[in-house]
Structure 1
Amino acid sequence: MKNSNIIHNIKFSKPNIQKDIVVYEGHYNNFNHGKHVHEDYTISVIQKGNMSAFLRGFNYKFDKSSIITINPDEIHSCGIIDQKEYKHRSIYIKPQTIIDILKENFSKKQLSFSNSHFNNDFLYNKLSFLTNEDNISLINKLSWECELIDIINHILKINSKANEIIELPAHKILIKKIKDYFNDNFFMQITLDDIVKEFNISKYHFVRLFKKHTFVSPHTYLMLVRVEKAKSFLQNGFSLTETAYMCGFNDQSHLNKRFKTITGLTPGEYKKFFT
């Protein structure tokens, strides 16, 4: 039987308005985030209940024991289990922030989280404290950022390839180049013929290869990229109409539909958190 007591609460905040770090809290019993990507590194903890998730091609069930780590541009999804509520919090961290930490502490220029999730009670408790909205308002910006950097350093030591040289096979290099092409040209009406011409590849081979490695179709991936770009524009004060146009959506209605399906909010509701 469908739950008549709907829980659908979402909050975003920026602990330091000068920094590109966003804290998110979601509390649901009737909503599933479809497959999507973030431009940021994402670190998440479950605060209540159990959450289903799709990560790196596998399905998981997470509870309060897990810390979830997602790399930029990594397809994933999350949602409810058996119509029961769950609450989770996430920190979204721009790649440049991670790069700066790597330079200072690991002498590396890039990394990937090794595992999609791991258990560590100490880090879980610190992350839960740091992402609590009440604590964010109480802690001064300097202390909050210092605590975050300390947590990131711990996570990089435990769950990253910061000390490894990553060699990518040829097909993964091709997929990365195609994804970069989407990210650079998200505002354009890209066709399969454009991809074929740009990369000298069979369209049938391309579609099969792309879905095998990203778990979504090329068109779906482009829509996900556009929603991520829209978030950035909205955070920086652009109007809904401007954002829809600059991100390649047909109109504001098209933006609204795609945005709410992925985030659980309309673009207007999302924008209010950053004004």
Structure 2
Amino acid sequence: MENLIHNINYIKPSKEKEIFLYEGHFNNFNFEKHVHEEYTISIIEKGSMKAFFNGFNHKLDKSSIITINPDEVHSCGILNKEGYKHHSLYINPSVMKNILKENFNSELLSFKDVFFNNNMLYNKLAYFIRLDKAKIDLDLVWECQFVNLLEDILKLNTKVSSNIKPIAKNSYLIKQAKEFINDNFHQNLTLDDLSKEFNISKYHFLRLFKEQTFVSPHTYLILRRIEKAKQLLREGFSIIDTSYICGFNDQSHLNRRFKSITGLTPGKYKSFF
């Protein structure tokens, strides 16, 4: 029987800043479609992985730098029995906003491409982003390296603008719907609730929502609940309180959904913070 690999680790280098380092190594696990509240920058250390971004499937290996905006639906998983090992840097939007304001005189940002290639930047990221506790230095050196790397990525692969571009009617509707779900994540929303809120046929709404987000409204509601659960667990809430605050029926319901999306139980995730 082949060895089963399923290893995940997190580090929060700074107590003051919402920045997380992540390491994952798998040969038997596929992440369901999900979102992150944070900006995500990832590299693959070894192996290859399949990924879903913006409605298309991709094969990625260690030549790629992966950049994902907050609330962008995506998934990833194994391609073969060798699996893959990858590292990610998660950056809270408030941290990114400050960096943008100070360095780009802007408060708006989105990564232009989900993945791109740059060997020199990849090597810098590989040295910095690998989750090696012996190398994590919480002083000025670490923070300077972090800001310099982020600036390099922003210059290469972002749309930074001081003006908000007009949003198409359907896009604006779905943006409002997502905000409504975010504000009411703890409630058992139905398709009827959403269609009445936005005065639209529920079947038309469902089609528009899936076209633009690649998931159903119900799936998106679950994803937002999981993101809220992650936040509460990091803040020290108990698993049972987290499950009820986030609208899950019970602790076992949270456990099932949490692990299918993060690869961890809520208890294991909580232990890192």
TM-score by length of 2: 0.96
Q: CA deviation at 1:126?
A: 1.6
Deviation at 1:132, TM superposition (A): 2.0
Aligned residues: 272
Which range moves more in the overlay, 250-259 or 154-163?
Answer: 154-163
How many Å apart are 1:197 and its aligned residue? Answer: 1.9
Amino acid at match of 1:66: S
What residue ranges of structure 2 are gaps of 5+ in the alignment?
none
Cα pair 1:52 1:80 within 8 Å, conserved = yes
1:168 corresponds in structure 2 to 167
User: Identity, % of aligned pairs?
Assistant: 58
- Aligned counterparts, 1:59-138, within 5 A: 59-134=57-132, 137-138=135-136
Q: One-letter code of the match for 1:17?
A: K
Residue pairs, 1:1-275, within 5 angstroms: 4-134=2-132, 137-163=135-161, 165=163, 166-274=165-273
> 2:232 is paired with a residue of what secondary structure?
helix
8 Å contact kept, 1:106–1:163: no
Render the CA deviation track for 1:155-201: whole Å, top value 9, x for unaligned: 11111110474332111111111011111110111112221221111
SS at match of 1:270: helix
Shift of 1:108: 1.5
Aligned residue for 2:44, secondary structure, equals: strand
Q: Distance in 2 between matches of 1:131 and 1:82?
A: 25
Alpha carbons 1:130, 1:136 under 8 Å: kept: no
Deviation at 1:138, TM superposition (A): 4.3
Q: Relative to structure 2, which stretch is displaced further, 242-251 or 133-142?
A: 133-142
| Runs of 4+ that moved beyond 6 A | none
1:92 & 1:16 partners in 2: Cα distance? 12
Cα distance, 1:47 vs structure 2: 0.4
Partners of 1:89 and 1:40 in 2: how far apart?
15
Where structure 1 has 5 or more consecutive residues not aligned to the other structure, the ranges are: none
RMSD: 1.3
Post-superposition offset of 1:232: 0.4
* Superposition deviation, residue 107 in structure 1: 1.7
